[in-house]
Amino acid sequence: MFSNILLATDGSPASTRAAQLAVELARTCGARLTALYVIDPYPYLGIGESNPLGFQAYMSSAYEHAAQAHAKVAALCNKEGKAIELRWRRAEDVHASDGILQAAREEGADLIVVGSHGRTGIRRMLLGSIAAKVVSQSPVPVLVAREAHT
């Protein structure tokens, strides 16, 4: 069914749920799984040039979060014992939805798996929805995993 799955992960509970589904699908289909962490552009334009330590601290923290998110996916892949071809990717200096779509094209993904917090109403309008943007712009199917609410 699917041979090349792209998982967008940020380590959040929503992306953890997406990772669980992506790993299960990769196992079932015998697909390659690529875990992607997008590092948003440095938010303090103009400040980085005058204070490079701020930029370095931001990037260091982003790389650490990426490593933690990828470690969660690796643990899920190793949990069942069946090998999954897992690749890592980072996209930098792009907005999350753009980075996801770009990586999907470059990887030749035939499915994108993303998590969603399931916000509605004004909170969704104010915060935007990465998952909604990916769904509306993706040329391949997108599986949206909602955060498990207890």
Q: Name the more confident of 45 and 77.
A: 77
> What tens digit of pLDDT does each residue of 76-118 get?
888 866 566 777 777 777 888 999 999 999 999 999 999 987 6
Of 137, 138, 129, the residue nearest 109 (C-alpha): 138
pTM reported for the whole predicted model: 0.83
Query: What CATH number corresponds to the domain at position 125?
Result: 3.40.50.620
Domain of residue 97 covers 4-146
> What are the residues facing 4 on neighbouring strands?
32
What 3-state DSSP class applies to 39?
strand
Whether residue 66 has pLDDT greater than 50:
yes
| Both structure tokens of 35 | 């875990």
How far is residue 112 CA from its own chain's centroid?
9
The whole-angstrom separation of Cα 25 and Cα 140 is 16
**CA atoms of 49 and 39, how far apart (whole Å):** 19
Contact 115, 16 (CB under 8 A): yes
Number of domains composing the chain: 1
